[in-house]
Structure 1
C-alpha cells in the first residue's frame, strides 16, 4: 500500500505539471501520448456523435500536371486558411519551382524575386470571406527579405500568469486526460443518448438533410455574417469587389505577375443550399462585372459530387474534392505561365 501511495502521488504530480506547463503539454503531444481528436474530423470532435466518426486519411495520391515550357522559375504564393495549410497541400501539389504559404492571420514580409514569375492565390472558405474582405489585403508587408511573422508572444509575466490561469490549466488537463479512445467512447455514449432521446446536439454543429449530414454552426447561424444564409446587400458585394481589386493592384505593385481568387464553399452550401435563403455570395462575387482577377469556381462541381466532396465528420473536403480543386488551380497556373513572356 505504501508503494501504491507513492505511485499515485508521482502520477498525480506529473498530471498536475502537464496541466500547469504549456512546454510539458507540448512535449506530451510530441511523444504521441495524447491525440488531438481531429483524427476523426473537426465536427466529430465537437459533437462526439458516433455516426460521424470518420477517420481522416492523408491525400497523397495527387500528381500535378506538367508545366508549359517557360524560361523563368515559377513561384506560387498562397494566402489561405485551413484548406491550404501544410497538412493538406504543399509544393508537391503544384507545377511550380518555389512555394510560400501564409495564413490570413499572419503576415508575409516580402521582397519579390523579379527573376521568377510570381503568382499569388487568395484562398478563403466562404464563411470567413466577407470578414476578410471588409478591408483591403493586410497580410503582405514590403520588406528587404521574405519571411512569415506571426502574432508576437505575450510578455514573460503574462505568459507566467497564463501558466497558472485556471482556464488554461483546465483546458490542458481536459485535453491530456480525455483525448483518448476510452474517453471518446464515453463521450459518444453521452452524445448519442442526448441526440436519440432529446434531439439535442452540441451547439457548435448543425445537423442538416434530416440529420444525415453535419456542418459547422457558423454555416447556418445567421446571427453573424459567416452563414451561407445571412443576407448580403449588393452594396456589400460592391465593397468586397472593390477591396479585391485594390488588393490585386497592391500585389502587382510588389512584383506579382498574376493574382487569382478561390472561395471554398461552406459545406452546407453544397449539401443543403435550401436550408435557408442562400445568399449566393460566391456567385455574386465571381460574376461581378468589376472584378479584375481570375477565379477558381468549384461550387457547381461539388454539388454534383454531393457527399463525395466533404468528409462526413469534418468541415473540410475529401481527397476527391481536394484533387478537383487542385486540378482547377493548376490549370489556371499553367494558363498564366503560358501567357507570360
Structure 2
C-alpha cells in the first residue's frame, strides 16, 4: 500500500513539473514520447470533431527543377510563418545552394556574402498580412555575422510569470495528458454530440459550405483585421504598400539582389469566399500599381484545386498545394538567377 502511495505521489509530481516547466513538454514532443496535439490537424485540435480527424502527412519526394548556370552561388533567405517553418519545407525543396529561414516573430542578424546571389522571400499567411505590414519589417538586423535570434520571454521575472501563468499551465497539462488517442476519442463524443444536437462547435473554428469544410475563426467570425471579410480602406492599402517597399529598400541596402513577396491565402478565401463580403486583400496588394517587387500568386490556382489545396482538419495546405507553391517559387528563382536570357 505504501508503494502505491509513492507511485501516485511520483506521478503527481511529474504532472506538476510538466505543467510548470515551459521546456519539458516541447522536449517530450521532440522525442515523440507524447503527441503534440497536431497529429490530426490544428483545426481538429480546436474542434475535436470526428469528421475532421485528418492524420498528419509529411510531404516527401519533391525535387526542385534544375537551375540555370550561374557564376554565383544562390542563397535563399526566407522570412516566413508556419507554412515555411522547419519540417514543412527546407533547403532540399529549392533550386539554391544555401538556405536560411527565420520566423517573422524572430530576428535575423545578417551579414550578406556579396559573392553569392542573395534572394529574400517574404512569406506570410493572408490573415496576418495587415498586422505585419502596418509597419516596416524589423526582422533583419545588420551585424558582423549571420544568425537567428529568437524572441524569448525576457528577464527572469517574466519567465517566472510565464511558468506560473494559469492559462499556459493549463495548456501544458492538456498537451501532456489529453492529446492521446483515448482522450481525443472521448473529446470527439462530446464535440459530435454538441454539433449534432445543438448545432454548436468550438469557438476556435467555423464550419462552412454546409458543414463540409472547417476554417479558422480568425479568418471569418471576428471584426478584427485577421478576417478576410473585414474591409480594407484604400488609405490602409497604400500604407501597407509603402511599408512593403520600404522593407524591400532596406533589404536592398543590405545587399540582397532580389526580394520576393508571397501571401498564402486563408483556407476560407479558397473554399468559401462567399461566406461574407470578401475584402480581396491578396488581389489588391498584388495589383497595386505602387508595388515594387515580384510576387508568388497561388490564389487562382488554389481556387481551381478546391478542397485538394488544403488539409481537411488543418489550416495548412496539402502536399499538392505545397508542391504548386514550390514550383512557382523555384520557377521565379530560376528566372531571377538566369537573367533576361532565361
Structures share a fold, TM > 0.5? yes
Task: Give yes or no for the alignment of 1:151 onto 2:151.
Answer: yes
| Alignment-derived partner of residue 45 in structure 2 | 45
User: Is the 2:267–2:315 contact (alpha carbons within 8 Å) kept by the matching residues of 1?
Assistant: yes
1:172–1:304 CA distance, 2 compared to 1 (3 A): same
**Unaligned 5+ runs, structure 1:** none
Matched residue, 1:300: 300
Q: Secondary structure at the match of 2:333?
A: helix
1:316 is matched with: 316
TM-score by length of 2: 0.95
Distance 2:20 2:236 in 1: 46
Superposition pairs of residues 91-170 of structure 1, within 5 angstroms = 91-170=91-170
Q: Deviations over 1:262-295 (max 9, x none)?
A: 1110100000111111111111111111111111
Quick one: distance in 1 between partners of 2:69 and 2:114? Answer: 18
Kindly indicate whether residue 231 of structure 2 is the aligned counterpart of residue 214 of structure 1.
no
SS in 2 for 1:38: coil
SS at match of 1:22: coil
Following the alignment from structure 2 to structure 1, what is the Cα–Cα distance between the partners of residues 164 and 273? 46
Stretch moving more, 46-55 or 23-32 = 23-32
Q: Deviations over 1:112-156 (max 9, x none)?
A: 110000011111111001111111121111111111111244323
Distance in structure 2 (CA, Å) of the matches to 1:169 and 1:141:
34
Deviation of the 1:243 alpha carbon: 1.3
Say whether 1:64 aligns with 2:64: yes
Change (3 A) 1:338 1:11: same
TM-superposed CA distance for 1:332, in Å, is 0.3
Distance 1:172 1:164 in 2: 11
Aligned partner of residue 112 in structure 2, secondary structure: coil
CA contact (8 A) 2:83 2:316 kept: yes
CA distance in 1, matches of 2:23, 2:228: 39
Greater shift in the superposed pair: 143-152 or 116-125: 143-152
Deviates more, 1:161-170 or 1:181-190: 161-170
- Aligned length, in residue pairs: 341
TM-score in terms of structure 1 length:
0.96
Could you tell me how far 1:165 is from its partner in structure 2? 4.2
Residue 228 of structure 1 aligns with which residue?
Answer: 228
Q: Which runs of 5+ in 2 are unaligned?
A: none
